[in-house]
Amino acid sequence: MPTLYIIHGYDAAPSNHWFPWLQDQLATLGVACHILALPNSSQPNLNAWLTKIEQSVAVHDEDVYFVGHSLGCITVLRHLERMDQTIGGVVLVAGFAGAVPLLPQLDEFTAQPLNTAHLRQLIKQRSVIAADNDATIPFALTESLSQQLDAQFLIVKNGGHFLLGEGFDTLPVVLDELRRMFELARLKSPTHP
């Protein structure tokens, strides 16, 4: 069965937004889901966040999936850049790989270009989700991320930044994407009849 890790964003925590809902939904599917608590999220440090992920994710294989939100997306990708093992997939919500004009304090995460060729090889299934009215992360940055990763790109009308304060304590589009990925992986499995 798949194992999934949720990586939260800037100034967030595991109990925020739609993360607990997604964990509960995945539990009903028999998927082990871990919401990592990244250190000092109001003043994030890339190396500290990467260390936490490395300490928390024991295995990287085709049954492993990541969901990232906002700053969590580039953090997932920075982590995976260091890996050589293929993983099942990523769903990246309101992500970015370039500098965010309103948030220069996050520039450390985007200072170096991503090794997108390596990431495309490593991550079997890739989806990026954006809102058409995100006031935090410009739409063009999330669209660019999807293009760099050659990812499925889904646009949610009036999604904002997918925050609890905007009404997002659930996010079915993420669950739908994960279900689609799990099913595709099952069908492609050599043990599938």
What count of other Cβ atoms lies within 10 Å of the Cβ of residue 18? 23
128 bridge partner residues:
92, 153
Q: Name all domains of the chain by residue range, CATH numbers in brackets.
A: 3-188 (3.40.50.1820)
Q: Please tell me the chain's helix, strand, coil percentages from 3-state DSSP, rounded to the nearest 5.
A: 40, 20, 40
Whether 59 contacts 4, CB under 8 Å: no
Q: Mind listing the pLDDT tens digit of every residue in the chain (193 residues)?
A: 899 999 999 999 999 999 999 999 999 999 999 999 999 999 999 999 999 999 999 899 999 999 999 999 999 999 999 999 999 999 999 999 999 999 999 999 999 999 999 999 999 999 999 999 999 999 999 999 999 999 999 999 999 999 999 999 999 999 999 999 999 988 887 765 5
Q: What is the strand order of the sheet 152-156 is part of?
A: 32-36, 3-7, 64-69, 87-93, 123-131, 152-156
| CB 113 within 8 Å of CB 17 | no
Q: How far is CA 62 from the centre of its chain?
A: 16
Distance, in Å, from the CA atom of 88 to the CA atom of 68, rounded to the nearest integer, reads 14
Would you please indicate which residues are annotated as catalytic (active-site) residues?
A: 70, 134, 161
Q: Give Dmax (Cα) for the chain.
A: 51
pTM check: above 0.85: yes
Mapping DSSP to helix (H, G, I), strand (E, B) and coil, where does residue 132 land?
Answer: coil
User: In three state form, how does the secondary structure of 27-86 look?
Assistant: HHCCCEEEEECCCCCCCCCHHHHHHHHHHHCCCCCCCEEEEEECHHHHHHHHHHHCCCCC
Q: How many CA atoms are closer than 13 Å to the CA of 187, on its beta-carbon side?
A: 6
pLDDT of residue 44: 97
Which structure tokens are listed for 27? Answer: 């539990």
pLDDT of residue 45: 97
Name the amino acid, one letter, at 140: A
pLDDT tens per residue across span 101-141: 999 999 999 999 999 999 999 999 999 999 999 999 999 99
